[in-house]
A and B are shown apart, each in its own frame.
Chain A
Amino acid sequence: EAGVAQSPRYKIIEKRQSVAFWCNPISGHATLYWYQQILGQGPKLLIQFQNNGVVDDSQLPKDRFSAERLKGVDSTLKIQPAKLEDSAVYLCASSLDQGGPTDTQYFGPGTRLTVL
């Protein structure tokens, strides 16, 4: 079974530029998560989708971050414009069911973003 795919793996941009990340979850997984992991910290949930609807985006900085999951399959996360403090690894995860407590999240390898 193929895992969660993310691209690109690395991205370097200058502040005020825009960037987009792509995630393809495991086939058949209903729930998709985007996390931000700043160096030395644990992942912070940015947004959680169930199929193509948003379950939780309470920690998404909506003035600059946006995410979509058209057709309930793959997803893109965009930052526009980027700030220095956005430098982090962006992790995508998916789970089979409705995001319940025993519904295991499978993580992708992440996209490392550096903002100069």
Chain B
Amino acid sequence: GEDVEQSLFLSVREGDSSVINCTYTDSSSTYLYWYKQEPGAGLQLLTYIFSNMDMKQDQRLTVLLNKKDKHLSLRIADTQTGDSAIYFCAESINYGQNFVFGPGTRLSVLP
């Protein structure tokens, strides 16, 4: 079955870069996603990457995909206190269906 794993906690200093890592098991994943969840709020899609790409950049966010190792990462440049949240990695099998989420990484940004 599908499985998505993430480290549960990450602390960084304001202004530093954050790197959140994710591994997945299903090689048939077609899209991989990063979502952000702030306290008491629903999930917000940050970015996604198609499985035939290895990098995608969107302002302060950089997504790297290593298909061979089934490893996905999200880099946040110049991390701000407003970036403190839980970040979920998710994979989609079967072109946008069968979403599977990881357990989430809680990012704490220290002043």
Query: A-side interface residues toward B, CB under 8 Å?
Result: 4, 33, 40-45, 48, 55-56, 91, 93, 99-110
Contacts and interface: CB of A to CB of B under 8 A. Distances in A.
A100 B98 CA distance: 11
B29 to A, nearest CB: 10
Given A43-B88, A45-B100, A102-B48, 19 more contacts: A4-B42, A42-B4, A42-B102, A43-B43, A45-B98, A55-B97, A56-B97, A56-B98, A93-B42, A93-B43, A99-B96, A100-B95, A101-B50, A101-B96, A105-B43, A107-B42, A107-B44, A109-B40, A109-B41
Contacts of A103: 96
Contacts of B98: 45, 56
B45 interface: yes
Contacts of B97: 48, 55-56, 99
Given A40-B103, A42-B102, A105 B95 contact: no
B92 interface: yes
Interface residues of B, number: 24
A108 B48 contact: no
Nearest to B50: A101
Contact of A45 (B31, B44, B99, B103): B99
A114 B99 CA distance: 25
A41 B102 CA distance: 7
Interface in B53-89: 88
A40 B6 CA distance: 12
A48 B96 CA distance: 11
